[in-house]
A and B are shown apart, each in its own frame.
Chain A
C-alpha cells in the first residue's frame, strides 16, 4: 500500500519508462514485502507461546496501568441534562448513517484515571466490577468498533453506575474532557443508582449536556421518553446464586415481601394485610441476630425463623417490590429470577426497558396508595395468567436482567432500534419466551380479508409430455367462470411444447413457461406470469373435476385465503408400534393434508416454497420426485398454524381409465415412500406442524332436498 501510494503521487508516466533492471528490482522488493505480509499473517494466527504471553502482559490491564489525568479546577463543566432532548434534537444521526446491516457502531473510550488538582480520584471505587463487565461485553459484541471515526455512539469508561461513589463536579469535568465529547452528543452513560440523600433525585445528578442516559430508577419526570433508556438495577446476587428450574404454577405463599429497607408505614400496612390474610402472606425482614455483612444479604427472617434469600422467592406466586429511597430496586431482578411475579409499588417509576418490554404480561403495577388493596387485586388475577406471568418474569430476567452483558446489549439494541426503526426488533421478538416463539405462529397473512371474486385465479398446470391429457385438462378448466389465466409449466427440456395453433382455444390468456430442469418444485415457483393471488395447482391428468367443483373450491379459498384448499384429503398418524409417523390415504374421518394435484392456495406460498423452505426439503423433493404436496402442506400449516380445507367429497384423483395399471403392490410402495416423507419433513421442521380436522367444506345446499337447478353448485358429489 505504501508503495502504490508513491506511484500514484508521481503519476502513471513512470511505469513505461522503467527498465528491465529496475523492474526486476521492484519485483524482488514486492516479493519481500509480500513475504513479510504472509509472515505477519502467519504469526497472527500461530498458536505459539510467545504471542500468548505477549498478549497476556498487554491484555491483563490493571487500573494502575491506565493513564492518570489531572483535572484542572477550572476545567469546564457540562450543562445539566436538557429535559427537552430527543433523538431528533440532541442526537447526531449523521454519525450512524445508512448502514446495510442496520447496526450502530459503538466506541468505548480507553480507561483513564481522573484525579483532581490535589491528586484525589474523582470516584471512590474507580472502575467497578460491573462496569468493567458491561464495557467488556460491549467490546466483544457486534456493536463495537475501535475506530472512533466510524462510531455512532460513544461510551465513556468513566464509571457512573453509582452516584454515591462519585464526586459530581469532577466527574462532569472528566466527561467534558473526553476528546469527542462535543456537548455530550451521541454519548451514552450508564447509571443504576442515581441521586443521593436526602431527596434522591431519580436521574443521575452529574451534569452531562446532551448525553443519553441509561438509568435505573427514572421517574416519569426525569425520563426523556424516546431518548433515555430505563435499565434495571443490577443485582450481583443473581450472578452468584443459581436457582433451580421451577415450572410456573401454584406456590406455597401467595405474596412475599422480602425487602429489608421498607418504610415503616408500608411495613405496618403489610403487617395489617398479613393479619387479614394469614399464611398466604410472608413478610420477611433482615435478621437482627446475624452480624452485618455479605452473608446477611443472603438471609431473611420472620419472627426468628431464618430463610435463605433469594431461594425463598421461588416459594411465592407474587413478590412485593416496593420503592425505597430510590424507585429502582435491585430486588426486582432477584424476584424475576425466581419466576415470582413482581408486584411493583413505586409511583411514577419507569419500568426497566419499558420501551420494548410489555410489563403488563409479567408484573402487576399497583399505586402505592392502594397497597392495602393489594391482596384483593392480586386475587382477581386468573390462575392461568399468573402462570404466564411467572414464565414471562423469568424470561425477562434471563434475557434482559441476568448479567451486565444482557443489560448493556439490550440498551444498545434499544438505541439501535430507534436509529433504524424500520429494522427494529418486533414485539414478539422482545417479549415472547423461546417456548412461545416455538409453539406460536405469526401468520404473514393475518388480516381477515375475503378477496373479491373478480380477479379470479391462475391455473398452473405442470406437464412433461402428456399433451393429449394436458389439452383435455385445459379444455375442462377453461369452463370454470373464475379462471383468469392458464399457465402451463413445460417441464420437458428435450421436447418443445406443441405449436401455438395446436393448443385448444380458450377464453383466457394461456402462457407456456419452459423450465431449465425437470424438477417438481417448478410447479411451486412464484412466476411473474401469475398475477392473481389465487393459484390453482393442477396436474396434467386431472380431468375428473367438474367446473362446479373447481369454482366452489375457488369460492372456499376466498373465505380462507391463507389455507390450502384441495379435494382429496390425506392424513398423518402416529404409528405407536414403529414409533414414527405414517401416511394414511382414503376413507378416514380426519384430514390433515390435501393433495396438490388440484389445490387452491395463495401465491405467497409459492414464494415461501421456493425461497423459505426449511432445510434441504426442496432438494430432497426434487431428488425423489415425490412428496412436493406433503412439503407444501407442512410449509403452510407451519406458518399459519391452520389445517387445510378439504372441499367436496372427492377422495382420489385417479382417472377411470388408469385404474388398471394401479396394482396393489404399487400402492403399498407408494404409501411407504409417503410415510418416509412425513418423517423426514417432521424432523427437518423439528416439530409436526400438521393440524388434524374432521370437517370438509360443501356448498350450503349440498345434498339438501331442494331443486338442483336452484343450487349454485349442483354438479358436486362424485367421489
Chain B
C-alpha cells in the first residue's frame, strides 16, 4: 500500500509538472522543449533566429577595386606568376599546356613513329591506329597540338608481361618530349600487388594522363581524362551494340542486384567485397564471391570461403548479367573493373561502389542518368536504395546505359576519339559542346560544335528544346551535263522545285567541265537562285556545307530527277516530322549475301528498303557538314574517283547517327534504272560498271564503319487519302496519284 501511495504522489507530481510545462510552453516556443536537443554552450531553447533591424551589408561597393599593389603588374605576368607553381600533381591546362601550338593549325594530333624492336600491345596498337585514322591526325609534328607516344604505356604493372622496361630513359631521349608538355599518356593499369599505387613508374612531366581507374585524389580536373578499363578483346572500331532490345513494363528483371567476382582475402580493396555476403539473399539480390584466385589462396582462406565458393559456382555470370536490373560494380584491387563496361552494355544499371573513383569521362558524362553511384560506407543500404528507385527512372537509366555505351565505349576508337574530343573542347572552349550535346542522342562524337554551338542548328534537339525546324528548304541540284535545251529534265525540275511553297532557295552545283552557262539560260524562279561551281568537279561537292544554305532542310536532287511540285511539298511535310532522317523517293536495299560472305546491294522491287537515294531526298543541312568533316578523306576520295556511291555513303552516315532507317515517301519506284536510255547518255547510271561499283562501295563502307549501320524499313509514307476511292477534289496531294 505504501508503495502505491508513493507512486500516486510521484505520479500526481509528475502530472502537475507536465501540466505546468504545457502551459508554460505557451511562452517557450515549441522548439525550445526538451534540453536534449540543445547544445552544450548554448542556453536552453537556443536556436537560429532571424535578426531584425539594421544590419550591415557584407560588402560595400568599394570592395571591388583594382588590386592596389598588383596594379603595376601586367595581368599576363600575374597569370604566369600564379600558374607557374602549379605543375606536376597540380597541373591544369592553364599551367601545363601550351595553347599556342593549337592556335596555329587547329587541333592536330601527332603520333610518334614506332621504333624498331619496341613491343606494342594489341590494345595500344589499336589506340594508335584509331588516332591515325581520325581526322585529327597529322604526320607533321610541327603542325601538332597534341602528341601521343608510340611507347606502350598501357600496362605499368611491373609483374605484367606487357610491362615496358626503361621507359623513363626512352622517353627522356625523345626530341619532342619537351618535358611532356602537350603530351597525352594512355594508361590502363598502374602499380602492382600489394598496394596498386597510381604511379606509372616514370616521370610524366607536364603530360596529361588518360588513365583508367584513376582516383579523384590523383585526378587533375580538366587536365587528365578518366577512361574506362577495357579488355584486349575490345574491338578496335565498329563495336557491338548494346543488348537492350525491349523496354519491358514493368521494367524489373529476374534479379534486382547481382555481382559475381573475386574476393580479396587480404590487401587493398578487400573490405567491400568481404562484406557483400551480408546483403546477399540468394533470391533477388545475388552477390557471389570466390576466394579462388592466385596460387596460394588456400593459405589466407577464411571461414566463409568454402561456403562462398560453393554458392559462387551455382550461378552463371552471363545469365545473371542479362537478367538483373542492377549490377553491382564494387572496387577490386583497382578502382575500376571490366565489369563496369560489361554491365553498361548489358543494360544492367551499374551500382558503383568504389569510393574515390573518378568515373570514366566524368568531365562530360552525367553518370547519375545511367548509373547509381553508391557509397562503400553504406553497403548495407544498397538493396533498399535500389529498390526505392521508381520504375520510370529504371527505364530511363537503362536506356541511358545503352546510349552511352554506343556513343562512347563500344570500341577502342570511340574511347580514343572521346578522349581527344574532350581535350579539343578544352582547347577551343568557346566552341565546345554543352552537356546536353554529350548526354543525349546521338552523343558528342556526332555533334560537332565546330558546325554550331547552337542546339537548334542540329537535327537532334528540336523536341528537347520544344522548337521546330525552319519551315522551308533549300534545293541543291547537282548538274553534270551541259545545258543544251529548255526541255532538258533539269529545267523542268528547277521550275517544279522552285514552285514549292516551302522552297526558300535553289542552288545549282555546277559540276560539269563545260563553262558555266549565262544567267539567262536558267529558268526564272521566284525564289533566290544561286549557281555554285563545284570544287574540282568532284561529286562530294554536292554535299559541302555551303554557307548559302539558309534553311535547316536540304532537298538534294540529281539533274535527271523527275519530280513534281506536289511531291516536293509532300516530302517536305513528312520531313518535318522526321528532321533527323533522310526522307525521299528512290529507295534501295541491302542484304547479306551469305554465299559470297559480303553485303549485297539491290535496286530490285523489294518489300523493304534501307536507303533513300539522295537523287531526290530531303535531309538536315547538318549532314552535309558531317559528310565533309566526320568521314575520313579516304572514303570521300574513293567516292570522288568513282563519281559514284556518294548517296550510299550518305545513307551509311545518317543511319549510323540515328540508328534508324530512312523514310521513303509514296510510290515512284520508276526512277533511274527505268529512265536509262531516255535521259542523257552521259548519265552515270548507264554505265554497266555502275552497279558492281556500288556493291563494292557497300562493303568498303561497312568495313570503315566497322559494322553495318543501315536499317530496314517495311513501310512508306503516303498522303492520308492516297489512292482512296473518294473524289480527287477532296485530296490535297492529288497530283501525286496522276503520275
Contact call A110/B42, Cβ cutoff below 8 A: yes
- Inside 8 A of A130's CB, which chain B residues have their CB? 57-58
In the complex, identify which listed stretch (B389-397, B512-520, B689-697, B700-708) lies at the interface while the others stay far away.
B389-397
A499 interface residue per 8 A CB criterion = no
For the complex, is A248 an interface residue (Cβ under 8 Å from B)? no
Q: Once bound together, how far apart are the Cα atoms of A688 and B550, in whole Å? A: 30
The contact string, 1 if C-beta is below 8 Å from chain B, for chain A 188-207, is 00001100011110000000
Contact between A382 and B454 (Cβ–Cβ < 8 Å)?
A: yes
B128: min CB distance to chain A, Å: 30
Quick check: B49 and A700 within 8 Å, CB to CB? no
Q: Looking across the interface, which residue of chain A has its beta carbon closest to that of B376?
A: A88
Which residues in B have their C-beta under 8 angstroms from that of A131?
Answer: 58
Q: Are B369 and A61 in contact (CB under 8 A)?
A: no
Query: Which one, B26, B384, B432, B463, contacts A443 given CB within 8 A?
Result: B463
In the complex, which residues of chain A have a beta carbon less than 8 angstroms from the beta carbon of B432? 360
New contact pairs (13) apart from A164-B59, A641-B463, A695-B570, CB-CB < 8 Å:
A3-B15, A32-B15, A109-B39, A125-B56, A263-B75, A360-B432, A368-B79, A435-B466, A556-B714, A587-B721, A695-B573, A702-B718, A703-B723
A444 pairs with B396, CB closer than 8 A? yes
Q: Report Cα–Cα, A59/B731, bound state, in Å.
A: 75
A481: Cβ under 8 A from any B Cβ: no
Per-residue contact bits, chain A 208-238, to B (CB 8 Å; 1 contact, 0 not): 0000000000001100011000000010100
Stretch in B157-165, B245-253, B492-500, B537-545 with 4+ CB within 8 Å of A: B245-253
- In the complex, the answer to whether A700 meets B609 with C-beta atoms within 8 Å is yes
**B658 contacts the other chain (CB 8 A):** yes
Residue contact A100 to B388, C-beta cutoff 8 Å: yes
Q: Are B608 and A695 in contact (CB under 8 A)?
A: no
Compute how far the CA of A331 lies from the CA of B65 in the bound complex, rounded to whole angstroms: 12
Residue contact B454 to A701, C-beta cutoff 8 Å: no
Is the beta-carbon distance between B222 and A220 smaller than 8 angstroms?
yes
Interface centre among A146, A179, A381, A561 (most CB of B within 10 A): A146
| A652 at the binding interface (Cβ < 8 Å) | no
Contacts of B573 in A (CB 8 A): 693-695
Whether A120 sits at the interface, judged by CB under 8 Å, is no
A115 touches B (CB below 8 Å)? no
Interface flag for B457 (CB, 8 Å): yes
State how many residues of chain A have any CB contact under 8 Å with chain B.
183
Residues of B within 8 A of A516 (CB): none
- Residue contacts A-B, CB under 8 angstroms, 16 given: A32-B15, A61-B49, A62-B51, A108-B48, A128-B55, A128-B57, A157-B48, A296-B61, A368-B79, A369-B79, A526-B250, A604-B247, A647-B715, A694-B574, A695-B720, A698-B715
The proximity string for B residues 88-109 relative to A, scoring 1 for CB distances below 8 Å and 0 otherwise, is 0010101000010000000000
Q: A297 contacts which chain B residues (CB < 8 A)?
A: 61
Instruction: Determine the chain A residues whose CB is within 8 A of the CB of B388 once the complex forms.
Output: 100
Interface string of A1-44 (1 = CB under 8 A from B): 11100100010001000000010011001001100110110011
A643 at the interface (CB under 8 A from B): yes
The complex places the Cα of A701 from the Cα of B378 at a distance, in Å, of 60
A94-B377, A146-B47, A440-B463 known; A36-B57 Cβ under 8 A: no
Of residues 300 through 341 on chain A, the ones whose CB sits less than 8 Å from some CB of chain B are 324-326, 329-331
A513 at the A/B interface (Cβ < 8 Å)?
A: no
Pick the most buried of A1, A112, A442, A701: most chain B CB atoms within 10 A of its CB: A701
| With known contacts A128-B57, A712-B714, A86–B217 Cβ distance under 8 A | yes
Identify which of A110, A198, A361, A417 contacts B70 (C-beta below 8 A): A198
Q: Which residue in A93, A261, A445 is a CB contact (below 8 Å) of B377?
A: A93
Given known A93-B377, A348-B94, contact A266–B75 (CB-CB < 8 A):
yes
Is B606's CB within 8 Å of the partner chain A? yes
Complex interface: chain A residues within 8 A of B463 (CB): 440-441, 443, 641-642
B595 near A: Cβ within 8 Å?
no
Q: For A19, give the chain B residue with the smallest CB separation.
A: B4
**A132 near B51: Cβ-Cβ < 8 Å:** yes
Give, as a whole number of angstroms, the nearest-CB distance from B694 to chain A: 20
Cβ B75 vs Cβ A265 within 8 A: yes
Instruction: Report if A118 contacts B (CB, 8 A).
Output: no
8 A Cβ contacts from B505-540 to A: none
Task: Produce 1/0 per residue, A604-615, CB < 8 A to B.
Answer: 101100000000
Determine the distance from Cα of A261 to Cα of B64 in the docked complex, in whole angstroms: 7
* CB nearest to A589 among chain B residues: B732
Which residues of A lie under 8 Å from residue B53 when comparing CB positions? 60, 62
Report B340-366 CB contacts with A as 1/0, cut-off 8 Å: 000000000000000110000000001
Chain B residues with Cβ below 8 Å from A422 are 368, 372-373, 385-386, 389, 393
Quick check: is B453 within 8 A (CB to CB) of the other chain? yes
Question: Considering the chains assembled together, what is the distance between the CA atoms of A451 and B375 in angstroms?
Answer: 35
Measured CA separation A292–B61 after assembly (Å)? 10
Which chain B residues lie closer than 8 Å to A25 at the CB level?
8
CB-CB contacts below 8 Å: B600-656 with A: 605-609
Does A476 interact with chain B (Cβ within 8 Å)?
A: no
- Nearest chain B CB to A608 CB, angstrom units: 9
Tell me whether A148 and B39 are in contact (CB under 8 A): yes
Residues of A near B42 (CB, < 8 A) are 67, 109-110, 112, 179
Q: Mark B54-82, 1 if CB is under 8 A from A, else 0.
A: 01111101111111111100111001000
CA distance A609 to B261 in the complex (A): 42
A447 touching B720 by the CB < 8 A rule? Answer: no
A261-B65, A700-B587 given; A448·B665 CB < 8 A: no
Interface of chain B residues 211 through 255 with chain A (CB within 8 A):
216-217, 221-222, 244-250
| CB closest residue in chain A, given B39 | A179
Which of A2, A59, A699, A713 contacts B49, CB < 8 Å? A59
Closest to B465 in A: A440
Q: Is B452's beta carbon under 8 Å from chain A? A: yes
Does B564 belong to the interface (CB within 8 Å)?
no
Whether B46 sits at the interface, judged by CB under 8 Å, is yes
Interface assignment of B669: CB less than 8 Å from any CB of chain A: yes
Given A40, A262, A325, which contacts B26 in the complex, CB threshold below 8 Å?
A: A40
Q: Is the CB of B55 within 8 A of A604?
A: no
Please determine whether A129 and B57 come into contact, CB atoms closer than 8 angstroms: yes
Per the 8 Å Cβ criterion, residues 572-615 of A in contact with B are 587-591, 602-604, 606-607
State the 7 A-B residue pairs at the shortest beta-carbon distance, nearest first.
A439-B466, A385-B454, A325-B67, A440-B466, A108-B48, A128-B58, A88-B355
Q: Is A495 an interface residue (CB 8 A)?
A: no
Interface residues of A in 134-180 (CB under 8 A from B): 135-136, 139, 146-149, 157, 159, 161-162, 164-165, 177, 179-180
Report if B18 contacts A (CB, 8 A). yes
Q: A325-B66, A367-B429 are in contact. Are A10 and B665 (CB under 8 A)?
A: no
Q: Are A200 and B67 in contact (CB under 8 A)?
A: yes
Q: Is A533 an interface residue (CB 8 A)?
A: yes
User: CB within 8 A of A324: which of B38, B39, B66, B723?
Assistant: B66
Closest B residue by C-beta to A439 = B466
With A93-B377, A226-B216 known as contacts, the answer to whether A533 contacts B247 (CB < 8 A) is yes
Instruction: Let me know if B330 is at the binding interface, CB within 8 A.
Output: no
Q: CA of A365 to CA of B93 in the docked complex: distance in angstroms?
A: 15
A331 proximity list for chain B (CB < 8 A) = 64
Knowing A146-B37, A385-B453, A449-B244, say if A699 contacts B12 (CB, 8 Å): no
Residues of chain A within 8 A of B31, CB atoms compared: 146
Instruction: Verify B56–A128 contact, CB threshold 8 A.
Output: yes
Contact partner of B455 (CB less than 8 A), chosen from A60, A388, A531, is A388
Which of A180, A221, A236, A297 has the most chain B CB atoms inside 10 A of its CB? A221
Q: Is A424 an interface residue (CB 8 A)?
A: yes
| B719 is an interface residue with CB less than 8 A from chain A | yes
**A646 interfacial contact with B, CB 8 Å:** yes
Q: Which residues of A contact B18 (CB under 8 A)?
A: 1-3, 33, 36
Chain B residues contacting A179 (CB-CB under 8 Å) are 39-42
Q: Are A695 and B605 in contact (CB under 8 A)?
A: no
Stretch of B166-174, B317-325, B434-442 lying at the A interface: B434-442
Check A700/B607 contact, CB under 8 A, given A361-B434, A422-B372.
yes
Question: Are B29 and A58 within 8 A (Cβ)?
Answer: yes
Q: Mark B652-689, 1 if CB is under 8 A from A, else 0.
A: 00000011110011010100000000000000000000
